[in-house]
Amino acid sequence: MRLLRPLRLLVPLVAVGGALVIFLVFGFLAYQGGTGGGASFIPGYCDAGLRSATQSGRGQSGDTAATLSAEQRQNATTIIGVAKQKGAPPRAWLVALATAKQESDLRNINYGDRDSLGLFQQRPSQGWGSPAQVLDPVYSTTIFLDKLLQVPNWDRLPVTVAAQTVQRSAFPDAYAKWEGLAAELVSQLAGVADPTGCGPNTATLPAGAAGNAIRFALAEVGKPYVWGATGPNTYDCSGLMLRAFQAAGIDLPRVSWQQFQAGGHVPVKQAQPGDLLFYATDPNDPATIHHVMLYMGDGQMVEAPYSGESVRVRPVPWGYNELVPLATRPGTTPNSRA
């Protein structure tokens, strides 16, 4: 029995160690499931803001296809040709074009940050290929697309998020400003009528609708918040939005999580005056939305916040952890592809 005593003493240690291993393994899996490898987002996403940029023929940068040099247009044509040959859908072409415009200005340059080279500024030291390979536009486009198509649900991510998931840039929002130009290039160089894959272009509010909704909401500033109230003397958050858009000729559902579904979606940082912003317990799960605000532009919003407060104007807390990453453009065609 004395020989077995040391073994009995080891049993609790083995049990604790085993439990710790199980905890770490399940914790890692939960983390991976929750982050999607860094690309977690609301499923079914399709970018209404990108459709607007496509319609206007320019992105946030102000560049258009007409302003590109012959070299830039040739590189854009090469990217589209490689993507077509791979059988990748037009949205992948769009992501690749926006990425190359940001990384190299659509020029096949032989220099960059540290050892970054080529159209996509890929680094040989990070496993992208040899210097000669990443300086070959066909190779660099091919390997970019290979990595993009491996991202889970890449086609349901905003263009800038999909690009960042592949590139791991120090400036993750930088790709957004080239989305409109990339969509125009896909449309112009490849004859694709709907490069976003979102269906009819209905991402623009009727003339004057946003201004009318904002004017109504501002006229209610100072009126008390009362849960369940829809005016005219008191409001809750969704009640204020309901009446503001009724004044603009747009009918919204009654509660905030339903209002999230009442139009096309755009990334919050591309919100325009008249878009709805939301808070949710889990920002990636629309079912947990519990608050809605009206974006006024210039980083300001109007809201009916909570009991004890009145309708007010305040800056948008862009860094708040409950801010849903998508805004809704009321009255436009919902653009979920789920």
pLDDT per residue as tens digits for the range 75-117: 999 999 999 999 999 999 999 999 999 999 999 999 999 999 9
Task: Give mean pLDDT, residues 181-199.
Answer: 79
Residues 6+ apart with CB under 8 A from 307: 225, 226, 227
Average pLDDT, the chain: 82
Phi-psi region of 112 (alpha: psi -120 to 50; beta: other; left: phi over 0): left
Contact 69, 158 (CB under 8 A): no
pLDDT band at 5 (very low <50, low <70, confident <90, very high): low
pLDDT per residue as tens digits for the range 193-223: 767 665 544 456 677 899 999 999 999 999 9
Least confident of 136-145, 156-165, 277-286: 156-165
Find the DSSP H helices in 150-250. Answer: 159-167, 179-190, 209-219, 237-246
Q: What is residue 252's predicted lDDT score, i.e. its pLDDT? A: 95
Strand boundaries in 215-325, DSSP class E:
263-267, 276-280, 289-297, 300-303, 312-315
Contact 190, 85 (CB under 8 A): no
